[in-house]
Homo-oligomer: A and B are copies of this chain.
Amino acid sequence: MATGRTHRPATRSRGIPEATVARLPLYLRALTALSERSVPTVSSEELAAAAGVNSAKLRKDFSYLGSYGTRGVGYDVEYLVYQISRELGLTQDWPVVIVGIGNLGAALANYGGFSARGFRVAALIDADPAMAGKPVAGMPVQHTDDLEKIIEENGVSIGVIATPAGAAQQVSERLIAAGVTSILNFAPTVLSVPDGVDVRKVDLSIELQILAFHEQRKAGEEAAAGASVPGGEGVAEVPGAGSGAAPAAAVEPPAGRAAAVARKNGPEGDVPAVMPA
């Protein structure tokens, strides 16, 4: 999953553990699918399988919401859909703004999943004057100058940041000053926000790096365990055809402990692309 956790640690909300809250949308999705197939009831076992979790965990999660099941039968699908929706606040309409209409921002604006669940894109905002007025996803992009006005007029409390990293902190401050109290941040930066403001982070490159870690570990284990293909430097014609991955080129050797003290910009030369990692 590509979701980091930037949350106040404890503050168990109304007794519902944070971990449980994070799973409720998962259950809701599975239940919605069942509802569409007109399935009247489900057991914890079935629903857990559909959501990809342990059935005991699911039952405990639901127990925090109340006793909504019937022993010997299971859970009423429609009823549970409503209860979870209500608990998550999806029975309300949440206007959101997307700031930063680049590749990602435009994709988010076009993403159907938002409107499908009670989230209404109230406005698209970008700092580029050339973007102003341009329609994206059937909606004219507005300029950053009007950010505060837009937030207040629409009663927006949730903001999505899809700007380059450099602009994210400042944008978040303006959003918060205007009344936003929840932020979904796609920019690869750590946002510092005052207490009471929730930030959730989606960072694509971090997710890939975590995968790379496990991938490397797998490759290492494999090499260590089965001592097959012993010819270390053997010329592999078709690299990794089949199982094991085949990393292509090695990069940048050590560089010596505290050697390079004042190097202007190391060989790792991160020329910041559209959105630097």
Contact = CB atoms under 8 A, between A and B. Distances in A.
Interface of A: 1-6, 13-14, 21-22, 24-26, 28-30, 32, 35-36, 38, 40, 50-52, 76, 78-79, 81-82, 85, 87-96, 103-104, 106-108, 110-119, 152-158, 179, 181-184, 186, 188, 190, 192, 196, 198, 200-218, 238-252, 254-255, 257-266, 268, 270-277
How many copies of this chain are found per oligomer?
A: 2
B202 A247 contact: no
30 contacts: A2-B2, A2-B200, A2-B202, A3-B3, A3-B201, A3-B203, A3-B207, A13-B213, A25-B210, A35-B265, A38-B264, A40-B261, A79-B257, A88-B216, A89-B217, A89-B247, A91-B252, A94-B247, A113-B276, A152-B241, A155-B238, A156-B245, A158-B245, A179-B245, A181-B245, A184-B207, A184-B211, A200-B210, A202-B202, A202-B204
Contacts of A182: 211-212, 214-215
Contacts of A277: 29, 112-113, 116-117
A212 B184 CA distance: 11
Nearest to A18: B210
Contacts of A112: 272-277
A92 B3 contact: no
Nearest to A257: B79
A26 to B, nearest CB: 7
